[in-house]
Structure 1
Amino acid sequence: MKRIRRDHKVRNFHQAKWDEPVIFELHRPGERGVVPPGTEAAVAAEVGSAEDNIPASMWRRTVPALPEIGQAKVLRHYLRLSQETLGSDMNVEIGQGTCTMKYIPRINEMLIRNPRMTELHPLQDVDSVQGMLEIFHNLDLAMREISGMDAFSFQPSSGTQALLAMASIVRAYHDSRGEGEQRDEIITTIFSHPSQAATAAVKGYKIITLHPDEDGFPDLEKLKNVVSERTAGFVVANPEDTGIYNHRIREFTDVVHEAGGVCYYDQANANGLLGITRAKEAGFDMCFFNLHKTFAAPHMCGGPATGALGVTEELKNFMPGPLVDKEDDGRYILRDQTEVSIGKVRSFHGVAQTVLRSYAWIMSLGPDGLKDVAQVAVLNNNYLYHKIVQIRGASAPYVQGRRLEQVRYSWKQLTDETGVTTEDITRRMCDFGLHYWTSHHPYIVPQPFTLEPTESYSKEDLDEYIHALEHISNEAYTQPDIVKSAPHNSTVHGNDESSLDDPKQWCITWRAYLKKTQPELQ
């Protein structure tokens, strides 16, 4: 069979398409995947009925409405769904800018599936889980070295929950000093993650947002103008979502500290910083890392994740508990919350599987390997940056030549000249088995797209992505309708997004769908 020569790197891709119903629609009453054997009479006579040991208050009034499906049908269903999905195991996933979609070592996935891990329960006596507590403790120590902080909690189950915990610590700290009512403002920046402002607002703070100077850096003079005796804290990402690293960050934290505020650092994405710079030297009192970004644990469709929260000694007593401590005799314990603790931010003390994955990743790399991760991520990003700004219609606003682990680019010129928008290009990229992200709203950078190559991808991978963007740019200038009518090779050829801003049309669960579409059945 003659092999067809590929003259360019744009793949001839077509998404698999199955007319696959949701699993509840596959339900057939009485159909079973497994039929367990009945209890032997001798066993039942000895132990009695399990139902007799369950309090009446714990019994359901109705049987749960779970789908009844045979094994083969379940297998086909999920394999078909997997064929209709793109992700970091299927394609070059550098287009999920700010989310750090990198390769997850499969040996670490094997670790978390070990029965000694899967059979653990968070309510076990601490003496029966000393190994897992040791891993929590050792990861805490590693995170201290990476950040310069003095203690870590792995209880927050996301970056946003870690931000909420830090805003809660800011409030608890000022309350303990009798300044809680006075200090009612949190300062952030427009290019930091929206969750920073949102979580501070949830805690009742007024949000002051700094906009960038002409080069894209947060404006230090504007910060000096807004700090006051009302300043509770300053929260920022560095680099921000533009990929621009603020080399004057210590001046910002010094200004806030002089006003009596607390500085906390969004390091959800620290992919370009490992082994190079730390939160402590930048003057921060708290920081968090997303283990499901920088430290090679999967996002898992939004969870379970971990926002590893670190604080200085001064704020340690305000942390959520319990924390893992090591006794002088080498035994590990769960130290209870202090009286001034913000309390638990989720059940128990963290997602053990995510902690194990990240611990294994750090231990396999060591300090030199972690620094290599950052250096290769920055190298990959700057190669991508150099190539993309040469594509017709593309640009990277603000200071040139100063980017770290990602870049927020713009198609403004291409849109002005062809009418093709960044949303059009999002859909056209699907036709090549690729994905890219635009940016958080509002679109401060016009017609944005944000890319982050991480350390996982080779030059050939990056070139494939670059060629796809070049190909689409050429289409926009020569045959724009091809781009505007995309996707052509996907399972969906157009999305009606009008319902996204209307909660009345949201159906998060099958039960919610039935209530809204078939109320007579309820």
Structure 2
Amino acid sequence: MEDVKLRNFHQAHWNEPIIFELSVPGRRGLIPPAPDEDIKKEAGDAKNLVPKGMFREQPPALPELDQKRVLAHYIHLAQETLGANLCNDISQGTCTMKYNPRINEELAAHPGIASLHPWQDVDTVQGILQMYYEFEEILKEISGMDKFSLHPQGGAHAVYTAASIMRAYHRDRGELDKRREIISAAFTHPCDHAAPATAGFRLIILPPSENGYPSIEAVKAAVSERTAGMFITNPEDTGIYNTEIDQFVKIVHDAGGLCFYDQANANVLLGIARAREAGFDMCHFNIHKTFGTPHGCSGPGLGALGVRDYLAKYLPFPTVEYDGEKYYLDFDRPESVGKIRQFQGPAGVLVRAYAWIRAIGQEYLKEVSEISTINHNYLQKKLQELIPEIDVPYAPGRRRLEEARYCWQKLFEATGVSTTDIMRRVGDFGLQHYWTSHHPWVVPEPMTLEPCESYGKEDLDEYAAVLKHIRDEAYSDPEVVKNAPHKCASHKLADESALDDPKRWATTWRAYVKKKGRT
């Protein structure tokens, strides 16, 4: 990798206080003008319009700063952030974090979109309802499903909604008391285990075979008259596509169960494979990932849930419908599982995704998946050539699709450098989104990379060169890696046990002050 020059990266480090700690009593950034006398005379005393129960006993405890300090504070924080718009981040395994076109951000910020209110009369929001309706039609074509809901707030929320629909389906058939078991797989996303469990089902999680996914024999052994359904990802987080998936579905269907397809990894299947042809009854897409909108650090998100026609009556209400002249919200759905949130999924996310997919079009949507596959296979081959310690467990010699779950166990045994050490060290080179794995780790010392279509050869070469450099450091000076990062705004935690102790968390300023006062 002599032709790849590593960045001499060094990030700003401001040791920036919390904005409340910068507060100075009496300091102001903006003093709103007093209302005109004519307005006061016409409107009267505005306090009389507010119910007494809504008045605060004390003013809100907001930080008091001038404009310059506020601006400096947020610029400092921005300089201490790594992300897709700033650096080479090679996505995040299983999450399809890609470049989000700036023009779509401008569209979502348009006053006609940003100022929408979900309680507006439908006559005043025909444009956004048209986008919801047309985007659903696009998802139906991509997946083969017959009806979609754009209510779920993210992938896990869509999975829970699918589990709720599965409950309603078996309840209406008089079999819910008997059908209490859900079949899933070890490498399927954890929400496909947690959400059905939250909905009251018992999980049977099948281990991978030598192919990286459960064997047909294991599926046959797991199904019974107690089977409610199957929740599974394909390809799973190994990147291996399950070519026997239609047989899995048939086995579950023959036992009377339903099948849900988690398509959080769908970026590699667009225009190539559909849930319908594999026989699935339901599927979901992470609109806030696959379709070119920001990941959002757990929100805002939109997990679109699609179903076949025989399950459409159970979808959350209201649905967006069109009578040939007008778009409207249909609340008259007596067999619906009900509301799973107050309103439709975020309009801003929908607008970005709608614009992204309309700009790309059908032909280039397929190319998105093809480039993602090429990018991953190029990076995997490069890494295995450069770093002999990297393993790619399961199905030796078989190509992965959009990602792979690599294993650093050999390097760890030889040097004591772990995958979490490497994860922290890559930040010293201006890289971001090295990801390990869901917990628990089935693959020891895991690394999961997903270089989707946003990245070019030079990006992949740089990422591989950095990992090779860190691998060499693990042998020559392992403490440099173990104590990383050294050039980032972040640092290695002195006591990582705090991450697993809710008693030591403080997610708000009030909680911080309260807990600080006790210590």
Question: TM-score, normalization: structure 1?
Answer: 0.96
Matching residue of 1:331: 326
CA contact (8 A) 1:245 1:402 kept: no
Matching residue of 2:6: 10
Supply the distance in 1 between the matched residues of 2:71 and 2:42 (Cα, whole angstroms): 38
Supply the distance in 2 between the matched residues of 1:281 and 1:446 (Cα, whole angstroms): 35
CA contact (8 A) 1:321 1:349 kept: no
**Shift in Å, 1:491:** 2.5
Matching residue of 1:503: 502
From 434, 448, 454, the counterpart of 2:431? 434
**Shift in Å, 1:275:** 0.1
CA contact (8 A) 1:392 1:473 kept: no
> SS of 2:284's equivalent?
strand
Query: What amino acid is the match of 2:406?
Result: Y
Matching residue of 1:518: 517
CA contact (8 A) 2:187 2:213 kept: no
Supply the distance in 2 between the matched residues of 1:80 and 1:223 (Cα, whole angstroms): 53
Query: What amino acid is the match of 2:351?
Result: L
Alignment of 1:46 with 2:42, yes or no, is: yes
From 69, 74, 86, the counterpart of 2:70? 74
Alignment of 1:382 with 2:380, yes or no, is: no
Alignment of 1:239 with 2:235, yes or no, is: yes
Matching residue of 2:490: 492
From 94, 112, 117, the counterpart of 2:113? 117
Supply the distance in 2 between the matched residues of 1:486 and 1:352 (Cα, whole angstroms): 40
From 387, 408, 413, the counterpart of 1:411? 408
Supply the distance in 1 between the matched residues of 2:177 and 2:260 (Cα, whole angstroms): 20
Bigger drift between 459-468 and 390-399 goes to 390-399
Supply the distance in 2 between the matched residues of 1:341 and 1:131 (Cα, whole angstroms): 26
Matching residue of 1:463: 461
From 346, 355, 362, the counterpart of 1:351? 346
Matching residue of 1:33: 29
User: What is the RMSD computed on CA atoms of the aligned residues?
Assistant: 1.4
**Shift in Å, 1:71:** 1.5
Structure 1, unmatched stretches of 5+, are 1-5
CA contact (8 A) 1:155 1:348 kept: yes
Question: CA offsets, 1:354-401, max 9 Å, x none?
Answer: 000000001001111100100000000000111112213111111133
CA contact (8 A) 1:234 1:264 kept: yes
Matching residue of 1:452: 450
Question: CA offsets, 1:313-365, max 9 Å, x none?
Answer: 1111111111110012x200001152221111112111000000000001001
Supply the distance in 1 between the matched residues of 2:68 and 2:155 (Cα, whole angstroms): 38
**Shift in Å, 1:62:** 3.2
> SS of 1:518's equivalent?
helix
Question: CA offsets, 1:264-305, max 9 Å, x none?
Answer: 011122110000001111111111100111001101222111
Alignment of 1:340 with 2:335, yes or no, is: yes
Query: What amino acid is the match of 2:90?
Result: I
Question: TM-score, normalization: structure 2?
Answer: 0.97
Matching residue of 2:311: 315
From 356, 359, 367, the counterpart of 1:364? 359
Supply the distance in 2 between the matched residues of 1:294 and 1:337 (Cα, whole angstroms): 32
Matching residue of 2:177: 181
From 480, 483, 504, the counterpart of 1:482? 480
Supply the distance in 2 between the matched residues of 1:425 and 1:178 (Cα, whole angstroms): 53
Query: What amino acid is the match of 1:417?
Result: A
**Shift in Å, 1:409:** 0.4
Question: CA offsets, 1:101-146, max 9 Å, x none?
Answer: 1000000000011111111110000000000000000000000001
Question: CA offsets, 1:438-471, max 9 Å, x none?
Answer: 1111111111000000000000000000000111
CA contact (8 A) 1:337 1:343 kept: no
Question: CA offsets, 1:211-240, max 9 Å, x none?
Answer: 111121222111100101111110011000
CA contact (8 A) 2:435 2:449 kept: yes
CA contact (8 A) 2:91 2:452 kept: no
Task: Tell me how many residue pairs correspond in the alignment.
Answer: 514
**Shift in Å, 1:419:** 1.6
Query: What amino acid is the match of 1:87?
Result: G
Supply the distance in 2 between the matched residues of 1:147 and 1:272 (Cα, whole angstroms): 13
Supply the distance in 1 between the matched residues of 2:345 and 2:439 (Cα, whole angstroms): 31
Alignment of 1:297 with 2:296, yes or no, is: no
Supply the distance in 2 between the matched residues of 1:479 and 1:519 (Cα, whole angstroms): 41
From 255, 273, 279, the counterpart of 1:277? 273
> SS of 1:244's equivalent?
coil
Supply the distance in 2 between the matched residues of 1:229 and 1:59 (Cα, whole angstroms): 58
Supply the distance in 2 between the matched residues of 1:284 and 1:9 (Cα, whole angstroms): 47
Supply the distance in 1 between the matched residues of 2:105 and 2:208 (Cα, whole angstroms): 41
CA contact (8 A) 1:172 1:342 kept: yes
CA contact (8 A) 1:288 1:307 kept: yes
Query: What amino acid is the match of 2:219?
Result: L
Supply the distance in 1 between the matched residues of 2:269 and 2:115 (Cα, whole angstroms): 36
Supply the distance in 2 between the matched residues of 1:346 and 1:29 (Cα, whole angstroms): 40
CA contact (8 A) 1:146 1:275 kept: yes
Matching residue of 2:212: 216
CA contact (8 A) 1:394 1:413 kept: yes
- Decide whether aligned partners of structure 1 residues 271 and 9 sit closer, same or farther in structure 2, where only a CA change above 3 A counts: farther
From 85, 89, 93, the counterpart of 1:89? 85
**Shift in Å, 1:27:** 1.6
Matching residue of 1:3: none
Identity of aligned residues (%): 53
Supply the distance in 2 between the matched residues of 1:500 and 1:61 (Cα, whole angstroms): 36
Bigger drift between 282-291 and 94-103 goes to 94-103
CA contact (8 A) 2:234 2:265 kept: no
Query: What amino acid is the match of 1:409?
Result: Y
> SS of 1:325's equivalent?
strand
Matching residue of 2:135: 139
4+ long deviations beyond 6 Å: none
CA contact (8 A) 2:91 2:98 kept: no
**Shift in Å, 1:153:** 1.1
Supply the distance in 2 between the matched residues of 1:7 and 1:165 (Cα, whole angstroms): 50
CA contact (8 A) 2:4 2:461 kept: no
Matching residue of 2:57: 61
**Shift in Å, 1:519:** 5.3
Supply the distance in 2 between the matched residues of 1:308 and 1:190 (Cα, whole angstroms): 24
- Decide whether aligned partners of structure 1 residues 62 and 268 sit closer, same or farther in structure 2, where only a CA change above 3 A counts: farther
